[in-house]
């Protein structure tokens, strides 16, 4: 649920005078995204998403996110295109916050993705990686291994409240993952948060990738590992090898993985599971019950972490 800042019609009309989208017809706060205030805007020249960037987003990162969407859209990635103001800028100000308009993409996110849809996600992820290769801006991954430590420091003392023994298990994971984490895999722009709610479909056709607000520079294979976790487990936390094989086959049809990337997948998937477990754990322990931000179960990612820990060969994921 996400509308932290209300906007009145006079503010919005003034804001839109800098854009070439025509008059406002309507705008509705939408209950998606957890960091910013988002509105579905109907204007004379089409439908758009209006985003007001709230405090949790570092404003100095906004040009990176918006220029990246523009770059990717121009190279054929199906993602929202930021609308330029008449002066060429992508970012304006609305209700005292930085704000932007991006094109609205039709499509629905899949609560229960199919094998075919996992294949489409793999293919699109690889296209995104290739299309981003010549993007000139850079952004370090704030939630890379070092960032995980900071999150963990804020949760460790209470981790056993969520599951007895969790603190010791995670400590052991940290030691192992930090020691063995690769440093020389192919890298570039990654999405870093390509969960089902950020991918739209119309039937089995992928119609949009959204929410680039975690995008950064990191290993391509780490992005693949995050997708394995996000798309290839069932609601009972069991691994679905058919979905993983489809996702990886789709990816490799566009950008083949090197042998070193394949060999690193189990470790990267463990790391990615740890990263999402840590943000969920932190939210679980710090967000009050009944708040408007949805809390997700950290134990789902503990289960995925354990699964990958036992994987001895990338063939488990359907790779040859």
**Interaction site with its own copies (CB under 8 A):** 1-3, 6, 8-10, 12, 23-32, 40, 42, 47, 104-112, 200-202, 288, 290-292
Tell me the closest approach of the beta carbon of residue 30 to its own copies, in angstroms. Answer: 5
CB 244 → its own copies: shortest distance, Å? 22
Residue whose CB is less far from its own copies, 40 or 299: 40
Q: Which is nearer to its own copies, 42 or 306 (CB)?
A: 42
Between 200 and 239, CB nearer to its own copies: 200
Least distance in Å: CB of 66 to its own copies?
21
For the bound state, the minimum distance from the C-beta of residue 197 to its own copies, rounded and expressed in Å, comes to 10
- What is the closest distance, in whole angstroms, from the C-beta atom of residue 78 to its own copies in the complex? 14
Residues 6 or more apart whose Cβ sits within 8 Å of residue 231: 113, 118, 121, 196, 243, 247
Q: Look at strands 46-52 and 37-43 and give their pairing.
A: antiparallel
Judged by beta carbon, residue 23 or residue 315, the one nearer its own copies is 23
Residue among 265, 280, 237 at smallest CA distance from 122: 265
d(CA 185, CA 219): 6
Phi, psi of 94 (to 5 degrees): -145, 130
CA distance from start to end of the chain: 42
40/185 with CB nearer its own copies: 40
Of 86, 274, 244, whose CA–CA distance to 177 is shortest? Answer: 274
Q: Report d(CA 72, CA 69) in Å as an integer.
A: 5
Q: How many CB atoms lie within 10 A of CB 24?
A: 16
Instruction: Provide, rounded to whole angstroms, the least separation between the CB of residue 16 and its own copies.
Output: 12
Which of residues 105 and 145 has its CB atom nearest to its own copies in the complex?
105
Return d(Cα 132, Cα 130) in angstroms, integer: 5
Distance separating alpha carbons of residues 90 and 262, to the nearest angstrom: 38
């Amino acid at each position: 649920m996400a509308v932290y800042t209300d906007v009145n019609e006079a503010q919005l009309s003034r804001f839109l005078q800098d854009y070439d989208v025509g008059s406002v017809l309507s705008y509705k706060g939408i209950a998606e995204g957890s960091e910013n205030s988002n509105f579905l805007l109907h204007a004379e020249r089409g439908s758009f998403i209006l985003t007001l960037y709230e405090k949790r987003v570092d404003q100095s990162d906004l040009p990176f996110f918006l220029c990246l969407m523009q770059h990717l859209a121009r190279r054929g990635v199906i993602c929202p295109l930021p609308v330029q103001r008449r002066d060429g800028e992508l970012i304006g100000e609305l209700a005292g916050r930085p704000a932007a308009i991006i094109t609205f993409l039709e499509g629905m996110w899949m609560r229960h993705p199919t094998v075919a849809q996992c294949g489409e996600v793999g293919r699109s992820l690889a296209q995104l990686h290739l299309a981003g290769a010549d993007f000139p801006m850079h952004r370090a991954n704030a939630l890379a291994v070092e960032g995980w430590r900071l999150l963990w420091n804020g949760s460790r003392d209470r981790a056993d409240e969520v599951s007895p023994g969790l603190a010791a298990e995670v400590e052991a994971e940290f030691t192992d993952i930090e020691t063995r984490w690769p440093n020389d895999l192919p890298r570039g722009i990654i999405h870093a948060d390509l969960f089902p709610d950020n991918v739209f479909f119309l039937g089995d056709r992928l119609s949009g990738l959204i929410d680039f607000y975690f995008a950064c520079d990191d290993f391509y294979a780490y992005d693949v590992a995050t997708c394995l976790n996000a798309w290839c487990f069932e609601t009972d936390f069991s691994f679905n090898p058919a979905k993983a094989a489809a996702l990886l086959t789709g990816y490799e049809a566009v950008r083949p993985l090197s042998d070193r990337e394949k060999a690193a997948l189990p470790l990267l998937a463990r790391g990615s599971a740890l990263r999402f477990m840590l943000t969920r754990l932190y939210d679980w322990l710090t967000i009050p019950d009944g708040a408007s931000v949805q809390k997700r179960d950290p134990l789902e990612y503990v289960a995925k972490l354990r699964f990958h820990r036992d994987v001895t060969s990338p063939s488990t994921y359907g790779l040859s």
